[in-house]
Amino acid sequence: MPIPTTEETSPSDGAATPRRIAVAHSPPSAHELVPGEAPLASVRAAALAKLEPTPPFLLRHHYKCWEVGSVEGIEGTFWLPLVDVQFISPGVNGMRTLGRNEVGRPENAYENAVRIAVKNGWTYLWPEDFPEFGRSGYLRRIECRLPGTAAVAGHFHCDPFTRILANPDDREYDHVRYDHEAFRTWRFGLVATGKIAPPSEQVRHQLLRRAARRVERNEANIQIPDAVRNKLVARRTAEAEAVAHATVPVAA
């Protein structure tokens, strides 16, 4: 398979101004926060999830990070952006601790880290830009407790694709599941609606080259049985063909 060669180009160095996210609001009810198979309130009157507290976060995408995949109900394969989670935790990834005179300005903790990341090719998805998920956008905040305790231990932060299933054993954590199909559909929509720019020609060529190299490595692997190698080559060839024929998501 021929391998195209291109030079990578970086996006514009213009820095976006970080925005404030709503992480200090009073959350809606547990039913609204945790749609799904087993509402927590049906198991415990207090409706406290048994989960470890987690910090709030921002979702972001790097212009080089894509995968090819299918979306339920839409024929074909598409370029889907990979979405990264950046936790707003002091001391991690450039996040800083707020001073006493910064109470009420949570954006001060992450504004410098965001500016640097934007210069390095990241696009931030701000929670308030997704009102279809509710007043706090994609950011969910749920009061939680540790197993075997009754007091609130903090807050568990998650996105709308996280499903929490109540565990009837009070000594065990609740079960956390993820709706990957819904998440793929959402990522399709990020490109189709213009919230994330489609992959550049250079990025598509780079990923096609990477897929072709996987095929070549498996074809050259003589240390495994022929039957196993043939299966691996067939799988990698199918993946490379999917990359070659993938299209950019567009709105219906």
Q: What is the pLDDT of residue 215?
A: 93
Q: What is the pLDDT of residue 92?
A: 76
Residue 25 has pLDDT above 60, yes or no: no
Q: What is the pLDDT of residue 237?
A: 93
Q: What is the pLDDT of residue 102?
A: 67
Selected residue with higher pLDDT from 99 and 87 = 87
Mean of the per-residue pLDDT values for the chain?
A: 81
Q: Assign 139 a pLDDT band (cuts: 50, 70, 90).
A: very high
Q: Assign 58 a pLDDT band (cuts: 50, 70, 90).
A: very high
Mean pLDDT of all residues in 39-68: 79
**Exposed e or buried b for every residue in 205-227, given b needs 16+ CB within 10 A?**
bbbbbebbebbeebeeeeeeeee
Residue 168 has pLDDT above 60, yes or no: yes
Q: What is the pLDDT of residue 137?
A: 92
Q: Please, which residues bridge with residue 151 across strands?
A: none
Rounded (5°) CA angle 82-73-132: 60
C-alpha 112: how far from chain center: 21
Q: What is the pLDDT of residue 222?
A: 86
Q: Which residues contact 226 (CB under 8 A, 6 or more apart)?
A: none
Q: What is the dihedral of CA 52, 54, 59, 61, to 10 degrees?
A: -80
**141-158 tens-digit pLDDT:** 999 999 988 888 999 999
Q: What is the pLDDT of residue 18?
A: 57
Mean pLDDT of all residues in 159-179: 93
**176-227 tens-digit pLDDT:** 999 999 999 999 999 999 999 999 999 999 999 999 999 999 999 888 899 9
